[in-house]
Structure 1
Amino acid sequence: METNETKNLNRLKELTALYFTTLKPAEDNSQKQIAQIKVLNYFELGCLITDLLKLCILALEHDMHNVEKKRSDSINVGLVLETVLSIFPLDEMEFLGFAGEIVRE
């Protein structure tokens, strides 16, 4: 008969396999993890990177008037937010909820 601790450990291992999906182990067997950002093509990747840089510049300068009003220089906040949302570890957060329930049992 399994002890409660063994059952909990096995359940946590199952949940980890199901929900820890945002980070993948690096192929070089190091302790590093990889989070992937999915983009349509190099152009979208370039737009994302430049928008992130522009957003950082604005945050550092605290002055919106220094950024040109041209459409090509505007920040695509939607793309930045979509990217952040795509790498947000929601599955892992769900796992933490389950782990909390197991601990409280």
Structure 2
Amino acid sequence: MKKKDKNDLARLRRLAPNLFRTLREDEERERSYRAQIEFTSYVELISTISDLLKLCITEACYDAEGASPYIKRPLNIQGVLELILQLLPVDEAELLDEIRPFLKQKEKNSTT
């Protein structure tokens, strides 16, 4: 390997940890990466899920590719729907089901 190539490779290795931040290697699955999405609240999360579903509905009913000159390829509906599945707060929904009877009982006790 030439000296210039070695220097370029060393430079890339120094830069990579600081610049490759969006995708992180998934330690549980080989050849897989994770990206973190941050939300300020469950309301924002649910709103985002709703918007993604509306996007899929719109694409299913109308051709989004023909709607804008900036859309160069067809929308990957399957990919968006898979993302939605990952975003759904299923565990939190189970917790809400557990909390509801408790709150109902507390409400009943406070009125008597």
Q: Report TM bin, short chain.
A: 0.5 to 0.7
Deviations 1:3-38 (A, max 9, x none): 111111101111212211100111315221001111
Give the equivalent residue in structure 2 for 1:59.
59
Which amino acid letter does the alignment assign opposite residue 4 of structure 1? K
| Off by >2 Å, runs of 4+ in structure 1 | none
Secondary structure class of the residue paired with 1:11: helix
Q: Which has the higher contact order (CA 8 A, sep 6+)?
A: 1
Secondary structure class of the residue paired with 1:40: coil
Q: How does 1:79-90 map to 2 (within 5 A)?
A: none
Give the equivalent residue in structure 2 for 1:21.
21
Instruction: Measure how far apart 1:54 and its partner are.
Output: 0.6
Which amino acid letter does the alignment assign opposite residue 39 of structure 1? F
CA distance, structure 2, for counterparts of residue 16 and residue 44 of structure 1: 32
Give the equivalent residue in structure 2 for 1:3.
3
**RMSD of aligned alpha carbons:** 2.0
Structure 1 residues not aligned, in runs of 5+: 64-105
Query: How high is the TM-score relative to the length of structure 2?
Result: 0.49
CA distance, structure 1, for counterparts of residue 19 and residue 10 of structure 2: 14
Instruction: Mark the CA change 1:34 to 1:7 in structure 2 (over 3 Å): closer, same or farther.
Output: same
Greater radius of gyration (CA):
2
CA distance, structure 1, for counterparts of residue 33 and residue 55 of structure 2: 26
Give the equivalent residue in structure 1 for 2:33.
33
Query: How high is the TM-score relative to the length of structure 1?
Result: 0.52
Structure 2 residues not aligned, in runs of 5+: 64-112
